[in-house]
Structure 1
């Protein structure tokens, strides 16, 4: 079954029998672009949409470098930014799939914490720590699958289900460690969070960043080069039409929430590998807000059906650049929270502006 582009408007074409020539009808219609736009304005809008938030990212980086003592655009600091952005990139990639279907997943931060706790516990088993990473991923997948089942087959609202999971899974994470921090100085997979791939002497790419880029690439391929990706966009664009066209909408929803949970589990691997530890109370706090902000800043619409994984990558980098740059400027953590909150509000406002401006193309 070939997907039908429902966003392409159809209009009657005048014929000679109607007494109006095709050329004269075209002239009588609205100006170029169908919305009173000139050719130059259409090209400018297309360029701005393609660039997305990339100019904002570049301006932020330059600004923090100039006003932060020329310390931002250095190799060492950019490596730190890449590490800071990597976990949010992974979470935001899963969030992109969910929001493209018109849903939301507020539980990813809690899933990350519970998965990391499971990984640390498994790493201390006497039978060997080789099970730590699989256990971490499995916990994320199972919790994400439970969310998806309640939403897809239980017909419960995504906001309510994942809000409940945010609290319940956070409690589970605390229960797993008896409300204590679990620490393992001999963590078998610590290299993921603390080592890098050496390109040439003195220059290495952090494994965290490599994992994040790999997740982004695979996500791009699924969304843009597979039938599954077409169906995800279709479900977000119009669930009723997708159902009528033969798409198994519940199965698609089950997939995206399971994937979001799995990637949150991967985030748990990355976080615990970096810290050699996990804490059910603090780890992953507010990560879901950063992920949502990255997705919306990247151009994915809350109503679903519109967005790209590359935009999500730019959004995650903006969040990381903001955090790092504010630290370099000596801004207190109190004001950092305020700025991040304003960015999230701005992201939602930007999403509304895109909708009103006819971004659904």
Structure 2
């Protein structure tokens, strides 16, 4: 039976929905609604300078959301990424004052990797759940950052060409910060989607027992993923240093771990592991960026931003629970 034009269009629409994903389409629709609503109230929202502001503002939280996505897909969670970013920010500035920008960049990345390794070792060898292990890291790494800096901003990188390029440079008119986020997103997406390492990370998060029986070295993947999270968190800390011109032990990194979890959950990452995508997380990061920028443009009290993020996190988790058919806590089946 020949296919009518109406059926062909319906099939094409169905294929598009399946390819993009219902979750991603929902996020795209939400972003579109927000853009129209905010733009109708303040036309300055559509200025190129403001759109660049949104992009650069979400870079740091976006980097942490990317690695938080990987950690959660693996079946864990990392509450220490914000504190690692703060520690890396301080140490990058302190190393810069004595050894220059190259040493500060790679030194801070190394410190982030070590912090991630510490978290991974606590999980693997101490047999502590990732939430408790990284909650300890959140407190401890923040304490170390405050100890080495005496709780004050350190160094000054505002005149260094490398840090200036990171903070205020651009390539073909697009800010460097946005390029950093885009390239990291593409790299992690490629690894998760097209490599054996990525497939194994999904397998560990989906069913760790089955993954172990199939020959996957789970401990190695746990260590590797936490080292990745620490390294990228350190990169975010370096960007904090570049944007502020000095190392910040707390300012600029406070609350980033919860922003990263919110973005991952909104992006459709299953908090029990084994499911999620980088594309969904990036859309969620954009949604949060548009929302927070719009609230600022419209003069909304900044404290409401935390309320909005907390509400979105709860809403995302509730939607996941309903989709999975989970029993409501405290209610009969």
Q: SS state of the match for residue 279, structure 1?
A: coil
2-side partners of 1:128 and 1:113: how far apart? 19
**1:174 touches 1:279 (CA, 8 Å); kept in 2?**
no
Bigger radius of gyration, 1 or 2?
1
2-side partners of 1:315 and 1:50: how far apart? 9
| Structure 1 gaps, min length 5 | 1-38
The TM-score with structure 2 as length reference comes to 0.89
Q: Which has the higher helix share?
A: 2
Which residue of structure 1 lines up, in the alignment, with residue 188 of structure 2?
219
Q: Identify which of 114, 122, 136 aligns with 2:108.
A: 136
Residues 276-327 of structure 1: per-residue CA shift (max 9 Å, x gap): 0122132300000110111111111001001000001011111111110100
Which residue of structure 1 lines up, in the alignment, with residue 203 of structure 2?
234
1-side partners of 2:230 and 2:180: how far apart? 16
| Structure 2 gaps, min length 5 | 1-10, 327-333
**Residue correspondences, number:** 312
Matches within 5 A, 1:7-86: 46=18, 48-49=22-23, 51-67=25-41, 69-86=42-59
1:101: how far off?
1.1
Q: Would you say 1:166 and 2:138 are equivalent positions?
A: yes
Which residue of structure 1 lines up, in the alignment, with residue 283 of structure 2?
314
Residues 126-156 of structure 1: per-residue CA shift (max 9 Å, x gap): x433211001111111101110111123221
1:50: how far off?
5.2
Residues 213-262 of structure 1: per-residue CA shift (max 9 Å, x gap): 00000001100110000000000000000000000011111111111111
Q: Identify which of 111, 115, 118 aligns with 2:88.
A: 115
Which residue of structure 2 lines up, in the alignment, with residue 31 of structure 1?
none
Matches within 5 A, 1:1-361: 46=18, 48-49=22-23, 51-67=25-41, 69-125=42-98, 127-184=99-156, 185-187=158-160, 188-197=162-171, 199=172, 204-356=173-325
**2:79 touches 2:135 (CA, 8 Å); kept in 1?**
yes
1-side partners of 2:40 and 2:316: how far apart? 25
2-side partners of 1:86 and 1:314: how far apart? 13
**2:94 touches 2:247 (CA, 8 Å); kept in 1?**
no
The TM-score with structure 1 as length reference comes to 0.82
Q: Could you list the runs of 4 or more consecutive aligned residues of structure 1 that deviate by over 4 angstroms after TM superposition?
A: 42-47
| Compared CA separation, residues 44 and 273, structure 1 to 2 (3 A) | closer
1:172: how far off?
0.5
Q: SS state of the match for residue 299, structure 1?
A: coil
